[in-house]
Amino acid sequence: MNWDSVSAFLHMGGYGLYVWGSFGVTLLLLALETALLSRRARRVADEIRQQTKAARPPLKPRHTGQD
Amino acid sequence: MKINWFYFSSPPRFYALAGRLSPLFFALALLLTTLGLYLGFFVAPTDFQQGEGYRIIFVHVPVSWMSMFIYLVIAFWSAMGLVMKTRISMVMAQALVPTGALFTFLSLWTGALWGKPMWGAWWVWDARLTSELILLFLYLALMALRAAIDDERRADRACALFALVGVVNVPVIYFSVKWWNTLHQGASVSLTRAPSMASTMLFGMLVMALAAWAYTIATSLKRARTLLLEREGDSEWARRQFAGDAR
Amino acid sequence: MTLALVLFKRECALVLRKPGDALSALFFFVLCATLFALSINPEPQLLRALGPGALWVCALLSSLIVVGELFEGDWRDGTLEQLLLSPLPLPAMVAAKALARWLGSALPLVLVSPLLGLQFELSGSALLLLPLTLALGTLALVFVGSIGAALTLGLRSGSMLLSLLLLPLYIPVLIFGALAVAGAQSGSGFEAELSILAALCLLSVFFAPFASAACLELACE
């Protein structure tokens, strides 16, 4: 174990601001990207659901092979 | 047996595969990040030269590796998309760009936070730093080019061509910046890290690098799925995905 | 080959018919360099230190103007589509256009550059090297720039996008051009930089037309 106390852990031997600035911003931005991506995915799914509801029967068969 | 290399280049098959793999890699990324952070903060010893400040490399190095590697992967998918004319390749190339740009920004950000206490400057005109900045410009240019073109097919191919032109240029840029740098700066700052890196440090860094890989795979697959739906939302296979819960 | 020659002559004639357009890059270059000198303390020592880099940046920005409208006119009046259908290979067409544009817009800039070098108190060999490196460099910049011009053809906010696309690609040329002039200025040698600049020039003149041709085909689909 490297740390005696929580405050020593946060202090990081005087480099606290730099270390937590790096890790904090990185985790924050990655979480933000994930959240934005989920929202976008949900939105497009909702859109398609609505379209499907609006135009129910005419599901024309469409080739699905490689293109 | 003949392997069908194009099996997953059909949008519905790719969509299903990505849907299964993406959460898997998300979980893996979470697991590896937790393990890496534990190793980095609690197992790896204090560096005798740089004190605790060196712990920034646990995030800085993986993020920097990833930022460069993603550009190569984009170029690979772009080339595939241009030669094989597979739509999925273009979608993958597009899906990787924002994540690559994010990692490039984070590399510069964490690099600055590492440089300030170690060299006393947020920024030095070192070849690696400068190349990383130019890489960020290339990512931004790719995104701007994509945003400016309305026609999807043209946007795909234009971005693919630019990504390939960029990947040819990156080594030339790195070489020229290095040349310029050695002439102007001499050996005022040495970027070489302590050669005697403790094995736990190295191990922690590798775990974090794997976490960055897993995160990139998960995010790009998820984004590729979303992009596919946005592009082909009115096709039959896309509707069928949601047919079950549309009642 | 003769077809490419005919096209080249046509492009030259077009440039000559509207000398104002062709010379705008030159005016921009001269103005930009003068503003640079005005913005700093006109101390000979400082001017000499900044001169090579400042003049090179000005030339680089001017070359953005040179390539900006490279295909625009032909695209708007439909000539480009005709050229795409013609038996002339597309890369040859791009090369002919880029070369004519370089002769019309960039060469005047190269010829005037020693005068601007005097403004920055450059010494003998640097004053000679400046037009030489600019000639090689702008040739590379115009050819690489043709890729950007083809990519952004007909897009809104095309000129902003053009600079965003091209400036990262321009960095090597800028570095070696400015270093060669600065090396001649300080007497620390310039041969290596000049050779690399010439290599970059040859490579871009040879390969860029192929990339531009691919981009043009996209823009005209």
Q: What is the pLDDT of residue B188?
A: 40
For chain C, give the mean pLDDT.
Answer: 87
Is residue B190 over pLDDT 50?
A: no
pLDDT for C144 equals 93
Residues 6+ apart with CB under 8 A from B156: B81, B90, B93, B94
Mean pLDDT over B202-221 rounds to: 91
State which residues form the domain around C36.
Answer: 2-219
pLDDT in tens, B117-151: 877 778 877 778 888 899 999 999 999 999 988 88
Which percentage of chain B shows pLDDT scores above 70?
A: 89
State the pLDDT at residue B183.
Answer: 66
Give buried/exposed letters for C51-66 (b at 16+ CB in 10 A, else e): bbbbbbbbbbbbbbbb
- For residue range C84-123, list pLDDT tens digits in order: 888 888 888 889 889 988 988 888 899 999 888 888 888 8
For residue A49, the model assigns a pLDDT of 84
Q: What is the pLDDT of residue A63?
A: 53
Q: Does the structure show a pLDDT above 90 at C154?
A: no
Residues in chain B with CB shorter than 8 Å from the CB of A47 are 233
Which tokens sit at B11? 């949008």
**Would you state the structure tokens that stand for residue B112, as one six-digit string?**
């600055």
More confident call, B217 vs C1: B217
Best CA proximity match to A11, nearest among B205, B41, B33: B41
Q: Is C12 exposed, middle or buried (0-12, 13-18, 19+ CB in 10 A)?
A: middle
Q: In chain C, whose CA is at the least distance from the CA of B181? A: C175
- Dist CA C169 CA C167 (whole Å): 5
**Contacts A9 to B, Cβ<8 Å:** 41
* Size (chain C), residues: 221
Residue B144: the pLDDT is 92
- Give the minimum alpha-carbon distance from C18 to chain B in angstroms, rounded to a whole number: 30
**Are the C-beta atoms of residues C68 and C25 closer than 8 Å to each other?**
no
Q: Considering only the beta carbons, identify the residue of C168, C179, C211 that sits closest to B161.
A: C211
Whether ipTM > 0.85 holds is: yes
Q: Which chain A residues are Cβ-neighbours of B59 within 8 angstroms?
A: 22-23, 26
Q: Is the confidence at residue B247, as pLDDT, over 60?
A: no
- Give which of C74, C112, C113 is closest to C220, Cα–Cα: C74
Report yes or no on chains A and C touching (3+ CB pairs under 8 A): no
Backbone angles phi, psi at A64, to 5 degrees: -120, 15
From B48-57, B62-71, B220-229, the region with the lowest mean pLDDT: B48-57
Contact: B176, C171; criterion CB under 8 Å: yes
State the average pLDDT for chain A: 77
B122, A45, B86, B162: which is closest to C215 by C-alpha? B162
Question: How many Å lie between the alpha carbon of B61 and the closest alpha carbon of chain C?
Answer: 24
Query: How distant is the Cα of B46 from the closest Cα of chain C, in angstroms?
Result: 39
- Taking contacts as CB-CB distances below 8 angstroms, the residues of chain B near C179 are 179-180, 183
Task: Inspect the interface and report whether the beta carbons of C164 and B138 lie closer than 8 Å.
Answer: no
User: Looking at residues A3-28, what average pLDDT do you find?
Assistant: 80
Q: What gap in Å lies between CA B69 and CA B63, rounded to an integer?
A: 10
Q: What is the pLDDT of residue A57?
A: 55
**Chain A residue with Cα closest to B208:** A23
What's the CA gap between B182 and B174, in Å, rounded?
12
Q: What is the mean pLDDT of residues C26-37?
A: 89
- The residue among C171, C204, C206 with the most chain B CBs within 10 A of its CB, best to mutate, is C171
Taking 60 as the threshold, does the pLDDT of residue B245 lie above it? no
Lowest mean pLDDT among A52-61, C60-69, C182-191: A52-61
For residue A17, give the 3-state DSSP assignment: helix
Q: How far apart are CA B31 and CA B37, in angstroms?
A: 10
Chain A neighbors (3+ CB pairs < 8 Å): B
Q: Contact B98/A40 with Cβ under 8 angstroms? A: no
Handedness of CA C82, C88, C94, C95 (dihedral sign): negative
Q: In chain B, what is the straight-line distance between the N-terminal and C-terminal CA atoms, in Å? A: 43
**C173 token code pair:** 């040329």
* Least confident residue range of B51-55, C174-178, C183-187, C212-216: B51-55
**Gap between the Cα atoms of C167 and B127, Å rounded:** 17
Domain residue limits, chain B: 16-188+212-230
Distance from CA of C16 to the nearest CA of B (A): 32
Measured in whole angstroms, the distance separating CA B205 from the mean position of its chain's CA atoms is 17
Confidence tier at C211 by pLDDT (50, 70, 90): very high
CA distance B7 to chain C (A): 28
Q: How confident is the model at residue B212 (pLDDT cuts 50, 70, 90)?
A: very high
Name the domain count of chain C.
1
Contacts of B239 in chain A (CB under 8 A): 48, 51-52, 59
Of the ranges B2-16, C123-137, C162-176, which one carries the lowest mean pLDDT score?
Answer: B2-16
Neighbours of chain B (3+ CB pairs under 8 A): A, C
> What are the tens digits of pLDDT across the range C168-181?
899 889 989 998 88
Say yes or no for a CB contact (<8 Å) between B63 and A67. no
- Residues from chain B that touch C218, judged by Cβ atoms under 8 A, are 154, 157-158, 161
Confidence check: pLDDT of B186 > 70: no
